Structure 1
């Protein structure tokens, strides 16, 4: 695993298309139990090199009901975004994750993770890539039907502060889905 992560950290496949250059952010350990598959790092994560080291990460850890210490313990959590580098600024937020990363690296990483008990798919890019035709028409529908994807996948919206409107419009998520996520995560981490 160390050799593979080292190789990924040197990756420059899509560097010509990246506003801030390549700085792959990915963590994993052969003992990881839960994989977080998000979109791509933002500018703060790009600068620090620490995944989910921003407001979105704080919200995600709240949803998971885990401390920073537990979240960043690679023997517990692997963090494998759809795009490993900051993709740049788009018209309404960041650009989508680059499409080169997942096909190039995800299978290689997952092949070295024999202890995975749950993959958390955050946002439409991760859900569409992994669920393929099983993803619903919208992210809201996919998240609302989360039990269909268990026990392998748990689907979530992006925890970005920009999604406050979505969370307000869909109170069932924090009332019904988040407690199930927390229960599942706790069960896995206890073992």
Structure 2
């Protein structure tokens, strides 16, 4: 059990030592980032094999596209006092026929709420992909990811549902040009304003 009195630093230490899923194909190696002053929460799915090898979240092509969407540099993105990166699963779950497997189900019940409770400065939550949408939006989401993203203004400015920035979603990006035309400029403006507020 997680103690209610645990500090964020102690909790992060506990998460990074987690071995709940020690039978994972590449072994447990939790990847996340958080600081108590973080303004923006990135709620993703789970690390891929490349980010597992590098030991840093979103250090891949998905991360490059995400940083482009946000209009930020690598230094800004990996500043834990700006961005908290808390995926639904902290470790690479393995690969199936259709790509990476879903985030492990053990992770969120054990760690997610205690971590989010220790991030009091979050003003914007970016929700990437179906599993994160299920957890953060619940019944408020539409039946499809596209339907939820199309309703983005209903959740703005506190949260923003997003497609996953994976290269596997290139067909979605081409089929939905309104996303980069209408949503991304608004997102970049809000991100820039939140960065300016950093002490």
TM range (shorter): over 0.9
| Structure 2: unaligned runs, 5 residues or longer | 1-7
* TM-score, length-scaled by structure 1: 0.97
The equivalent residue for 2:106 is 100
TM-superposition CA deviations, 1:17-59 (whole Å, max 9, x none): x211100001101111101010000011111110100000000
Secondary structure of the equivalent of 1:108? helix
* TM-score, length-scaled by structure 2: 0.93
Does residue 1:122 correspond to 2:151, yes or no? no
Q: C-alpha displacement at 1:75, in angstroms?
A: 0.5
Aligned equivalents of 2:142, 2:36: Cα separation in 1: 32
Q: 2:41 aligns with which of 25, 31, 35?
A: 35
Q: 1:3 aligns with which of 10, 18, 36?
A: 10
Aligned equivalents of 2:173, 2:73: Cα separation in 1: 22
Q: After the TM superposition, which parts of structure 1 deviate over 4 Å for at least 4 consecutive aligned residues?
A: none
Does residue 1:89 correspond to 2:89, yes or no? no
Aligned equivalents of 2:75, 2:119: Cα separation in 1: 21
The equivalent residue for 1:58 is 64
Where in structure 2 are the equivalents of 1:177-188 lying within 5 Å?
Answer: 177-188=183-194
**Which moves more between the two structures, 171-180 or 55-64?**
171-180
| Structure 1: unaligned runs, 5 residues or longer | none
Aligned-residue CA RMSD (Å): 0.8
